[in-house]
Amino acid sequence: MRNVSQIVNGKRKIIKKPELLAPAGNLEKLKTAIMYGADAVFVGGKEFSLRSQASNFSIEDIKEGVIFAKKYGAHIHVTCNIILHQDNLKGIEEYLQTLDDIGVTAIIVADPYIMKIAKDMDLNLEVHVSTQLSTLNLKAIEFYQKMGMDRVVLGREVTYEDLKTIMEYAPVDVEYFIHGAMCIHYSGRCMLSNYLSRRDANRGGCSQSCRWYYDLYDDGNLVNQEDDMPFSMSSKDMSLIDHIGELIELGVDSFKIEGRMKSLHYIATVVSTYRKLIDTYCEDPDHFIQDESYRQELLKAANRALCHGFFYEHPGVEEQLFNMRDEHPTQEFVMRILDYDQEKHLAKIEQRNYFKVGDQIEIFSPHHPNLFFTVEKLYNEDKEAVEVANHPMEILYVEINENVLANDMGRKVIR
Ligand code: SF4
């Protein structure tokens, strides 16, 4: 097992903290992920990347992201994990050279040709093997190491028992999914979307066909005809919030959060929750208490019910959402703080969802504990009193008696 800790003044401390790697679908999310505690962010460029709908980073955007990340000591990884068709080959060398020139730390690749040329070009870019290749064993990792790869992103299907073996001998860095959506097929090996909507999951176009509603037949008879609950093949989302300590002790190099399509609120909530947990654990691992608060925090932004994915073994019936038993967030993102006047106790905010006078709001932040207040005084941009905030992105002022900070976020507590 890798040595991850040492005794400092009689107390064991973790000296090898894992990287916390977050997703971002645009620059605002990238900056938020870093401000809320991500060590690195992965983004998709407009070219050579899966998740085409989430890949809205131009080269200029990536450059701005790299400059912002550097101020925080963070890193930017760019997905180049398209499976190349013959007509995709043109321009790949120039693209990789540009990413290298602007200071991107790593590219995430799936196609052997991109792996080869990225190494042949002798760039500073690290080359990470994408989860699209479903790497599940040590021998495969050794194969990629011989090809010069710097890191392997494991498939979500690796159990904790297999991970223990992998971490004992892995010759390169290992990245492991800790949070996010799951496919009902092996990641990247699904043709449902191609077949049902002609959208190629391996070219970033997955239409999430597994989560659609289906008629279910048993021996020719429609089973769910009278049922209010339609049948779907959707999986619960994965969360390893209860196992972060075990994964840190194994020496996993990077903890990956999935979801470049997810909202700003989701990214801020998930990143800050794992950040706090990782830091608390590493400071004093032998006295760490895994209380429920971390899970409760995640549930405030969860889109679906959570499960442990493949951590223990292959997921069973309980890990699926056959009847779309979705759980919705217990709180709704309603405001982002832009500024705070300490003398007037007035926060300038950007409205994100409907709220009104009388609603209870929870403010969360990377810099202070969560705090609650009830909206009593609300003003529009002309400082006229209003009762409701119902225009997305409208600038408003709200009275908050406790100090808040720019970039804190507010959620409406749903009772
Ligand atoms: S259809 Fe579902 S299982 Fe298939 S790739 Fe898309 S999300 Fe994954």
HEC string for the chain: CCCCEEEECCEEEECCCCEEEEECCCHHHHHHHHHCCCCEEEEEECCCCCCCCCCCECHHHHHHHHHHHHHCCCEEEEEECCCCCHHHCCCHHHHHHHHHHCCCCEEEECCHHHHHHHHHCCCCCEEEECHHHCECCHHHHHHHHHCCCCEEEECCCCCHHHHHHHHHHCCCEEEEEEEECCCCCCCCCCCHHHHHHCCCHHHCCCCCHHHCCECCEECCEECCCCCCCCECCCECEEECHHHHHHHHHHCCCEEEECCCCCCHHHHHHHHHHHHHHHHHHHHCHHHCCCCCHHHHHHHCCCCCCEECCCCCCCCCHHHECCCCCCCCCCEEEEEEEEEEECCCCEEEEEECCCEECCCEEEEECCCCCCEEEECCCEECCCCCECCEECCCCCEEEEECCCCCCCCCEEEEECC
Res 51: pLDDT: 56
Comma-separated ranges of CATH 3.20.20.70 domains in the chain: 5-189+233-319
Indicate which atom in ligand 1 lies nearest the CA of residue 191: 4
Res 220: pLDDT: 87
Res 292: pLDDT: 92
Could you tell me the distance, in angstroms and rounded to a whole number, from the CA of residue 368 to the centre of ligand 1? 38
Res 128: pLDDT: 98
Domain 5-189+233-319 has CATH 3.20.20.70: yes
Using CA positions, which residue lies closest to atom 8 of ligand 1? 183
Give the CA diameter of the chain: 72
222 has which bridge partners?
217
Res 55: pLDDT: 55
Could you tell me the distance, in angstroms and rounded to a whole number, from the CA of residue 406 to the centre of ligand 1? 38
Res 325: pLDDT: 55
Retrieve residue 295's tokens: 């899970």
Residue 312 CA: distances (Å) to CA of 195, 315, 319, 403 = 32, 8, 12, 43
Using CA positions, which residue lies closest to atom 5 of ligand 1? 190
Could you tell me the distance, in angstroms and rounded to a whole number, from the CA of residue 3 to the centre of ligand 1? 37
Res 227: pLDDT: 58
Could you tell me the distance, in angstroms and rounded to a whole number, from the CA of residue 193 to the centre of ligand 1? 7
Could you tell me the distance, in angstroms and rounded to a whole number, from the CA of residue 185 to the centre of ligand 1? 7
Mutation to probe ligand 1, out of 208, 319, 321, 322 (largest number of atoms < 8 A from CB)? 208
Res 43: pLDDT: 94
Could you tell me the distance, in angstroms and rounded to a whole number, from the CA of residue 208 to the centre of ligand 1? 5
CATH architecture label of 331-413: Beta Barrel (2.40)
Using CA positions, which residue lies closest to atom 4 of ligand 1? 190
Residue ranges, the chain, pLDDT below 70: 1, 49-55, 188, 202-204, 225-229, 323-330
Per the rule left: phi > 0, alpha: psi between -120 and 50, beta: everything else, 322 is alpha
Mutation to probe ligand 1, out of 134, 183, 213, 234 (largest number of atoms < 8 A from CB)? 183
Res 52: pLDDT: 53
Res 351: pLDDT: 96
Comma-separated ranges of CATH 2.40.30.10 domains in the chain: 331-413
